[in-house]
């Protein structure tokens, strides 16, 4: 009897140790990666690095066109993916009839979230670049990444809505609310925390995507900025920038890594560090938002 | 067959109402009963006999879930409209018939926004009117003194009993013709329960109440008429005093004397 208990306890201990070891291993690997980037790249980050175009001379080169490009592409992505993703999620959860067609669509959306991103690049090349003639532009890149993160936004929207108890819906309906009133007054506000978190996390994924953008033909060397969206004469606003070619942070980094000179590798590390910090900050904001909403609304 | 007392004003009348969630089993079996104006009608019976199901027919809650067939009628007086008719929009019915649920379910909004939600839904804009109604409903629900200084704090800060009275205030703010209460005190402590019971007796001056209760003493204390249900059938309906002192049916008698349930 005692022997038996001791045996079981030993197994318990072995498992706990194995788990601890895996955890330490994972965290150490991550730390080493970050530290390596930090020691190599941090010293290179200064005002000039952020405000210079890429150059043949590593010491003069900067990431101005890359971060502006990333920003523009993310703007398009967010502008397209957020409304469509939320609307699709709400539709699937609240309006879609529960039949086999809906089930197939739901299954496929979940599958889409797991498809290699380069596949989206190929599809975008065929559809946006060749068929719709949108060019190898910021618009094409934004749309491609929007497609890539759309499934994530749809899925998180649905999950956040589903977390709202049925009793709350019934309470709203019992007060005479229409379906849209119920969605507008209750479902969307109460699920906003989860939805915003999902949106930020998906954008932080999109900002690091490289493969699909290379596939649609993003350039690796861009020494100009997109056209300004503000004009000095009527109509004062221009969308020409959507049609401009572009580069983004991870592509710039990729370009520098593939150069033979070690100085360019330092530039790459600095860019990588900035990208990493951006992602961390975005995820941090997401966690903060989720925490605030959790505190505000308890079911 | 239940006889309608011609000396009393009808507010609603259930006529041969049958209902089932699936095709196999009928949950309500041709139920007929009157609901008198400004009286409290209690629905009693053992768990699973269909009390909640019957109550949720009155505000067409079943319409929220897969297509359900109501057979029979619930006629709403004075205009004698069949609220179960397919031509009547459930929203129209819910605007006139309020409901309070078994578990308090305030919205995670401010106390004020909870109470005036029905007015918001109806598109009422006038601030003075909304505030007036808010105060009146909270007074009626006996909650005004406790919350008047913190109308803008979250409803989730309130205790369970206060939350349930808030839900009652929310239902009252739109001045419904009928108020449906589904075991409104089953999740509350004895003090809050007493509070809510006083409230019901107070409220029946203005509004017709149908209350489902598992607690026989509660039915005896607050209701004027009682309907005893068993396995989806309405076994007996009558004045509460008669049901509790001199029931006509054997099953009613054994239920109220606590032999089953
Ligand atoms: N949503 C539902 N779907 C299927 N069956 C249900 C549902 N709700 C209740 N029932 C069944 O209907 C019967 C009556 O339930 P209910 O009206 O909730 O009883 P009561 O309120 O008297 O306890 C029970 O047999 C219950 O299992
Ligand atoms: Mg019930």
What digits encode the pLDDT tens for the residues A131-155? 998 888 899 999 999 999 999 999 9
pLDDT grade for B138, boundaries at 50, 70 and 90: very high
Cβ separation of B108 and A190 shorter than 8 Å? Answer: yes
Distant-in-sequence, close-in-space partners of A178: CB < 8 Å, separation ≥ 6: B91, B121
Cβ separation of A175 and B94 shorter than 8 Å? Answer: yes
Strands (E), A166-205: none
**DSSP code for B204:** T
Helix axes A166-174, B160-172, angle to 10 degrees: 30
Residues A19, A276: Cα–Cα separation, whole Å = 27
Considering Cα of A66, then A72, then A75, then A77, what sign does the dihedral take? negative
Task: Report chain B residues whose CB lies below 8 A from the CB of A171.
Answer: 101, 105-107, 167, 170
- What's the pLDDT at A98? 85
Considering only alpha carbons, which residue of chain A is nearest residue B117?
Answer: A175
**Which has the closest alpha carbon to B242: B226, B218, B254?**
B226
Residue A274 sits in the same domain as residue A145? yes
Q: Is residue B28 in some structural domain?
A: no
> What is Dmax (Cα atoms) for chain B?
56
Considering only alpha carbons, which residue of chain B is nearest residue A191?
Answer: B108
Q: Which of B120, B156, B170 sits opposite A298 (nearest CB)?
A: B156
Closest CA of chain A from B94, distance in Å: 5
Contact between B49 and B214 (Cβ < 8 Å): no
Residues B82, B13: Cα–Cα separation, whole Å = 9
Cβ separation of B91 and A176 shorter than 8 Å? Answer: yes
Count of beta carbons in the 10 Å neighbourhood of residue A143: 23
Q: Chain-wide mean pLDDT for chain B?
A: 93
**DSSP code for A128:** I
* Number of structural domains found in chain A: 2
Q: Which of A170, A178, A181 sits opposite B101 (nearest CB)?
A: A170
Residues 72-111 of A with CB under 8 A from B: 98
Q: Is residue B216 in some structural domain?
A: yes
Distant-in-sequence, close-in-space partners of A127: CB < 8 Å, separation ≥ 6: none
Q: Is residue B248 in some structural domain?
A: yes
Residue A98 sits in the same domain as residue A135? yes
Q: Is residue B61 in some structural domain?
A: no
pLDDT grade for A27, boundaries at 50, 70 and 90: very high
Q: State the average pLDDT over residues A3-30.
A: 92
To test the pocket of ligand 1, the residue of B18, B21, B215, B233 to mutate (highest count of ligand atoms within 8 Å of its CB) is B21
| Nearest atom (ligand 1) to Cα of B56 | 17
Q: Determine the distance separating the centroid of ligand 1 and the alpha carbon of B23, expressed in angstroms.
A: 14
Residue A252 sits in the same domain as residue A119? yes
Q: How many residues does chain B have?
A: 261
Q: Which among A28, A44, A60 is the end of a domain?
A: A44
**Which has the closest alpha carbon to B78: B10, B25, B160?**
B10
Question: Which of A2-6, B40-44, B51-55, B204-208 has the least mean pLDDT?
Answer: A2-6
Cβ separation of B121 and A176 shorter than 8 Å? Answer: yes
Cβ separation of B94 and A178 shorter than 8 Å? Answer: no
Residue whose CA is closest, atom 1 of ligand 1? Answer: B21
Q: Which among A27, A44, A61 is the end of a domain?
A: A44
Residue A23 sits in the same domain as residue A153? no
Q: Is residue B21 in some structural domain?
A: no
Residue A26 pLDDT > 90: yes
Residues 170-229 of A with CB under 8 A from B: 170-178, 181, 185-186, 190
pLDDT grade for A60, boundaries at 50, 70 and 90: confident
Tens digit of each residue's pLDDT (9 = 90 or more) over A210-267:
889 988 888 877 888 888 888 777 788 878 888 888 889 999 999 899 888 888 989 9
pLDDT grade for B18, boundaries at 50, 70 and 90: very high
Q: State the average pLDDT over residues B123-144.
A: 94
Residues B211, B189: Cα–Cα separation, whole Å = 18
Distant-in-sequence, close-in-space partners of B70: CB < 8 Å, separation ≥ 6: B17, B18, B19, B57, B62, B84
Q: State the average pLDDT over residues B213-234.
A: 94
- What's the pLDDT at B197? 94
Considering only alpha carbons, which residue of chain B is nearest residue A170?
Answer: B61
Count of beta carbons in the 10 Å neighbourhood of residue A259: 14
Q: Is B30 left (phi over 0), alpha (psi -120 to 50) or beta?
A: left
pLDDT grade for B261, boundaries at 50, 70 and 90: low
Q: State the average pLDDT over residues B74-97.
A: 94
Residue A133 sits in the same domain as residue A14? no
Residues with CB under 6 A from ligand 1: B 21, 27, 45, 47-53
Q: Chain-wide mean pLDDT for chain A?
A: 90
- What's the pLDDT at A233? 78
Q: State the average pLDDT over residues B61-76.
A: 89
Cβ separation of A171 and B122 shorter than 8 Å? Answer: no
Residues B72, B52: Cα–Cα separation, whole Å = 17
Residue B3 pLDDT > 80: no
Looking only at the bridges linking them, the beta strands covering B28-36 and B70-76 are unpaired
Residues A201, A161: Cα–Cα separation, whole Å = 18
pLDDT grade for A296, boundaries at 50, 70 and 90: confident
Considering only alpha carbons, which residue of chain B is nearest residue A166?
Answer: B105
Domain CATH number, residue A212: 1.10.3720.10
Considering Cα of B170, then B172, then B174, then B176, what sign does the dihedral take? positive
Tens digit of each residue's pLDDT (9 = 90 or more) over A173-202:
999 999 999 999 999 999 999 999 999 999
Residue A86 sits in the same domain as residue A210? yes
Domain CATH number, residue B133: 3.40.50.300
Q: What percent of chain A has pLDDT over 70?
A: 100
pLDDT grade for A44, boundaries at 50, 70 and 90: confident
Site from B59, B100, B107, B152 to mutate, A interface, most A CB atoms within 10 angstroms: B107
Residue A131 sits in the same domain as residue A13? no
Question: Which of A42-46, B73-77, B84-88 has the least mean pLDDT?
Answer: A42-46
Residue A2 sits in the same domain as residue A83? no
Cβ separation of A175 and B105 shorter than 8 Å? Answer: no
Tens digit of each residue's pLDDT (9 = 90 or more) over B91-114:
999 999 999 999 999 999 999 999
pLDDT grade for A172, boundaries at 50, 70 and 90: very high
* Number of structural domains found in chain B: 1
- What's the pLDDT at B260? 72
Joined tokens for residue A172: 């709203």
Angle, CA A75 vertex, CA A71 and CA A78 arms, to 5°: 130
Residues B52, B46: Cα–Cα separation, whole Å = 11
The predicted model scores a pTM of 0.87
Residue A13 sits in the same domain as residue A51? no
- What's the pLDDT at B126? 95
**Which has the closest alpha carbon to B74: B87, B53, B57, B92?**
B57
- What's the pLDDT at A190? 94
Q: Is B231 left (phi over 0), alpha (psi -120 to 50) or beta?
A: left
Q: How far apart are the first and last CA of chain B?
A: 24
Domain with A189, as residue range(s), is 46-296
Q: How many residues does chain A have?
A: 299
Residue A36 sits in the same domain as residue A96? no
- What's the pLDDT at A4? 87
pLDDT grade for B42, boundaries at 50, 70 and 90: very high
Residue B188 — φ and ψ, nearest 5°?
-110, 160
ipTM for the whole predicted complex goes beyond 0.90: yes
Residue A111 sits in the same domain as residue A240? yes
Paired residues of A293 in beta bridges: none
Which pairs from B1-10 meet CB under 8 Å and 24+ separation? B1/B32, B2/B32, B2/B33, B2/B34, B2/B234, B2/B237, B4/B34, B5/B34, B5/B36, B8/B34, B8/B36, B8/B37, B8/B39, B9/B36, B9/B37, B9/B38, B9/B77, B10/B34, B10/B35, B10/B36, B10/B37, B10/B77
Q: Which helix (H) or strand (E) holds B28?
A: strand B28-36
Tens digit of each residue's pLDDT (9 = 90 or more) over B115-133:
999 999 999 999 999 999 9
Domain with B199, as residue range(s), is 37-56+89-226+236-256
Q: Is residue B30 in some structural domain?
A: no
Residue B1 pLDDT > 80: no
Residue A212 sits in the same domain as residue A72? yes
Closest CA of chain B from A281, distance in Å: 29
């Amino acid at each position: 009897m005692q022997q038996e208990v001791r045996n079981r306890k030993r197994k318990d201990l072995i498992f706990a140790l194995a788990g601890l070891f895996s955890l330490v291993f994972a965290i150490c690997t991550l730390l080493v990666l970050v530290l390596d980037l930090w020691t190599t790249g941090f010293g290179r980050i200064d005002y000039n690095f952020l405000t210079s175009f890429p150059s043949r001379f590593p010491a003069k080169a900067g990431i101005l066109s890359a971060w502006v490009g990333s920003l523009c592409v993310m703007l398009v992505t967010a502008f397209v993916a957020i409304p469509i993703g939320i609307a699709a999620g709400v539709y699937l959860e609240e309006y879609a009839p529960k039949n086999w067609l809906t089930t197939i669509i739901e299954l496929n959306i979940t599958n889409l979230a797991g498809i290699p991103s380069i596949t989206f690049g190929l599809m975008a090349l065929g559809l946006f670049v060749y068929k719709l003639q949108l060019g190898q532009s910021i618009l094409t890149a934004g749309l491609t990444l929007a497609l890539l993160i759309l499934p994530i936004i749809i899925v998180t929207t649905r999950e956040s809505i589903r977390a709202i108890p049925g009793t709350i819906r019934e309470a709203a309906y019992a007060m005479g609310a229409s379906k849209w009133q119920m969605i507008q007054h209750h479902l969307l506000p109460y699920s906003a925390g989860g939805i915003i978190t999902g949106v930020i996390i998906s954008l932080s994924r999109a900002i690091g995507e490289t493969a699909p953008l290379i596939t649609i033909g993003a350039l690796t060397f861009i020494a100009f900025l997109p056209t300004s969206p503000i004009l000095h004469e009527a109509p004062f606003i221009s969308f020409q920038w959507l049609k401009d070619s572009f580069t983004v942070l991870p592509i710039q980094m990729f370009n520098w890594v593939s150069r033979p000179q070690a100085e360019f590798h330092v530039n790459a590390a600095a860019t990588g560090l900035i990208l990493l910090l951006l992602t961390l900050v975005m995820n941090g904001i997401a966690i903060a938002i989720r925490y605030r909403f959790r505190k505000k609304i308890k079911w | 067959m239940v006889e309608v007392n011609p000396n009393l004003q009808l507010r609603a009348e259930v006529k041969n109402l049958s209902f089932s969630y699936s095709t196999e089993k009928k949950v309500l079996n041709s139920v007929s009963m009157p609901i008198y104006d400004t009286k409290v009608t209690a629905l009693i019976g053992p768990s699973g006999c269909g009390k909640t199901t019957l109550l949720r027919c009155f505000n067409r809650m079943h319409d929220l879930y897969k297509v359900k067939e109501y057979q029979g009628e619930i006629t709403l007086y004075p205009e004698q409209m069949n609220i179960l008719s397919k031509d009547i929009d459930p929203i129209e019915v819910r605007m006139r018939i309020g409901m309070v649920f078994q578990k308090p379910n305030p919205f995670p909004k401010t106390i004020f926004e909870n109470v005036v939600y029905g007015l918001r839904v109806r598109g009422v804009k006038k601030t003075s009117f909304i505030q007036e109604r808010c105060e009146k409903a909270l007074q009626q629900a006996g909650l005004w003194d406790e919350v008047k200084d913190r109308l803008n704090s979250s409803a989730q800060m309130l205790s369970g009993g206060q939350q349930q009275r808030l839900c009652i205030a929310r239902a009252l703010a739109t001045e419904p013709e009928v108020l449906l209460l589904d075991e409104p005190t089953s999740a509350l402590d004895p003090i809050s329960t007493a509070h809510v019971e006083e409230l019901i007796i107070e409220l029946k001056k203005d509004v017709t109440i149908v209350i489902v209760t598992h607690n026989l003493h509660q039915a005896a204390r607050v209701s004027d008429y009682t309907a005893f249900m068993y396995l989806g059938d309405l076994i007996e309906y009558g004045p509460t005093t008669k049901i509790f002192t001199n029931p006509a049916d054997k099953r009613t008698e054994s239920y109220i004397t606590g032999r089953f349930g």
